[in-house]
Chains A and B, each alone.
Chain A
Amino acid sequence: MTGDPSRPDDPSTPNEHAGEVVELPSATRATDIALDELELVYAFIYARVGNRADAEDLTQQVAMKAIPRLRQGAPASAIRGYLFATARSVLGAFWSMRLGLSQAELHEDLVLAVQQGPTSDEPAERAQRILAGLSDNYRRVLELRFLHGYSLKEVAAEMRSTVGAVKVMQLRALRAAAKVDTDA
């Protein structure tokens, strides 16, 4: 069901497009640089949407918006800021579309969720930092559910509670976590 992945013409052929504006001598090298940068963008987006399908769609959007800039052959360091600015814009549009809110409403409430650039703060470290700012019960329910993969029923058994009560506690814990994240 799939086509031949080999390409009929070698995009790295020197001077194939001599005279065109903003073309690198080696398109293959430009692609490699772009993919390495997009790897960082993917991790950045994934940390905010929490699933592969949406992260791939959004990374692809960033790539397509950034193609003209990538083709200018600027060094990786020069295009990184541009890519992340584009990623923030794409993420803003994503949340706006999915939640049915204007970008202005999103900006006001989720400003930090969208404004952060690439940092050394790994998602797991960030989660631990947020958890440390929560009350014991809230921290426990989120740890069990997200970090240990417990079902609601298992969390309820572990915490000697009911599924209904755990659902409510999970909601309150996530609201509190969002507040800790914003205040951090």
Chain B
Amino acid sequence: MPEKPEHRVERIVSDLLRGRRLRLRAGDAEEKEAITAAARFASASQGPQRMSPAFRRRLAEILESTPRETWLTRRAALVAGLGVAAGALAGGLVGRSLEPGSGPALQAASSPVLPKNGRWTDVGALADFKEGAGKLVKAGAVGAFVFRRGESVSAVSSMCSHLPCELWWDAKPGLLDCPCHPVSFTPDGKPSSPSYTLPDLNEVKARVTDAGRVEVLGT
């Protein structure tokens, strides 16, 4: 039985009033006006908003550490309002095309994250990592999901290879989900749906030391 509109909107209002992310389901579009109004009222109830110090630091890290040599596709340039031809500029992460499966940016997307002057960062004891479960770690400006396989580990970037959103680990299907669009990735960074062509996630270098500590190559 379809969810009644008042229940549908109450579910969303309740989430908003608890400070939760907007989680919309199929059919919610029927109440789009009420939902956007609810989001505005929820914002009004919380007063003027400023970025948290942690988020501001994260943005600063992104702004300062973005690779300088990246492709800029024509579509991305147009969407971003730059009005320049593809490849005419170097110096931005805008290089990720907004069209899955197109352009040279996708070829670069699955390359390993190798920060200039990168350093190995201790992210915990191997014993802290559950077999097969993704664990989000930060190695300076590099965010990664680390997976333990026996006595070794592997890691992939925590950023979606399509939209620049941080993934989250969905334990039940064992996939990394993007909060910004309906795609997910396997622990080895491959898109889970063959019908939605996306580049692989960037590999992040990870290792286990002789002392049983997990290290990730970050900044």
Contact = CB atoms under 8 A, between A and B. Distances in A.
B26 A89 contact: no
Interface residues of A, number: 86
Contacts of B22: 49-51, 54, 98
A174 B9 contact: yes
A170 B93 CA distance: 43
A110 interface: yes
A64 to B, nearest CB: 5
Interface residues of B, number: 84
A61 B164 contact: yes
A31 B17 contact: no
B34 interface: yes
A122 B62 CA distance: 29
A83 B82 CA distance: 12
Interface residues of chain A: helix, strand, loop or mixed (majority): helix
10 contacts: A3-B216, A20-B90, A22-B89, A39-B56, A46-B49, A54-B21, A95-B32, A149-B45, A170-B10, A174-B38
Interface of A: 1-5, 7-9, 11, 17, 20-23, 27-28, 30-31, 34-35, 38-39, 42-43, 46-57, 59-61, 63-71, 82, 85-86, 89, 94-95, 97-101, 106, 109-110, 113, 122-124, 126-127, 130, 142, 145-147, 149, 152, 164, 167-168, 170-171, 174-175, 177-179, 181
